[in-house]
Chain A
Amino acid sequence: MAKEHNEKIASLKEFQEKIDRDEKIEPKDIMPEAYRKTLIRQIGQHAHSEVVGMLPEGNWITRAPTLRRKLSLLAKVQDEAGHGLYLYCAAETLGKSRMEMTQELLSGKAKYSSIFNYPTPTWADIGAIGWLVDGAAIMNQIPLCRCSYGPYARAMIRICKEESFHQRQGYEIMLTLAKGTKAQKEMAQRALNRWWWPSVMMFGPSDADSPNTENSVKWKIKRYTNDELRQKFVDAIVPQAEKIGLTVPDKDLKWDKKRNNGQGGYAYGEINWDEFWRVVRGDGPMNNERISAKQKAWNEGSWVRAAAHAHALKKQVALQAAE
Chain B
Amino acid sequence: MVSEEKETILWEVFIQPKNGLSHRHCGSIHAPDREMAILSARNVYSRRGEGQSIWVVRSIDIVSSDPDEKEETFSSDDKIYRHPTFYDVPDDVGHM
Contacts and interface: CB of A to CB of B under 8 A. Distances in A.
Interface residues of B, number: 23
Contacts of A78: 43, 47
B28 A308 contact: no
Interface in B1-30: 1-3, 5-8, 10, 26-30
Given A28-B67, A79-B47, A312-B36, A89 B7 contact: no
Contact of A309 (B6, B27, B28): B6
Q: Which residue among B3, B27, B44 has the maximum number of chain A CB atoms within 10 Å of its CB?
A: B27
A103 B10 contact: no
Contact of B27 (A86, A97, A102): A86
A97 B7 contact: yes
A155 interface: yes
B64 interface: yes
24 contacts: A28-B64, A28-B67, A30-B67, A78-B43, A82-B45, A85-B29, A85-B44, A86-B44, A89-B28, A89-B29, A92-B28, A98-B8, A98-B10, A98-B30, A99-B5, A99-B7, A103-B2, A103-B3, A158-B26, A158-B27, A298-B1, A308-B33, A309-B32, A312-B36
B28 A315 contact: no
A85 B67 CA distance: 26
Contacts of A82: 43-45, 47
B48 interface: yes
| Chain A contact patch, size range | 20 to 34
A33 B94 CA distance: 53
A308 B32 contact: yes
A102 B10 CA distance: 15
A106 interface: yes
Contacts of B36: 308, 312
B3 A99 contact: yes
For the residues of A in contact with B, the DSSP-based class is helix
Interface in A70-114: 75, 78-79, 82, 85-86, 89-90, 92, 97-99, 102-103, 106
Contact of B32 (A28, A90, A311): A311
A283 interface: no
Contacts of B28: 89, 92
B33 A305 contact: no
Interface in A279-323: 298-299, 302, 305, 308-309, 311-312, 315-316
B5 A299 contact: no
Nearest to B25: A154
A162 B50 CA distance: 12
Contacts of A162: 47-48
A209 interface: no
Contact of A89 (B1, B3, B27, B32): B27
B63 to A, nearest CB: 13
Contact of B10 (A92, A106, A302, A305): A92
Closest 9 CB pairs of A and B: A312-B33, A312-B32, A28-B67, A103-B2, A89-B28, A308-B32, A309-B32, A89-B27, A99-B7
Contacts of B7: 97-99
A315 B31 CA distance: 14
A270 interface: no
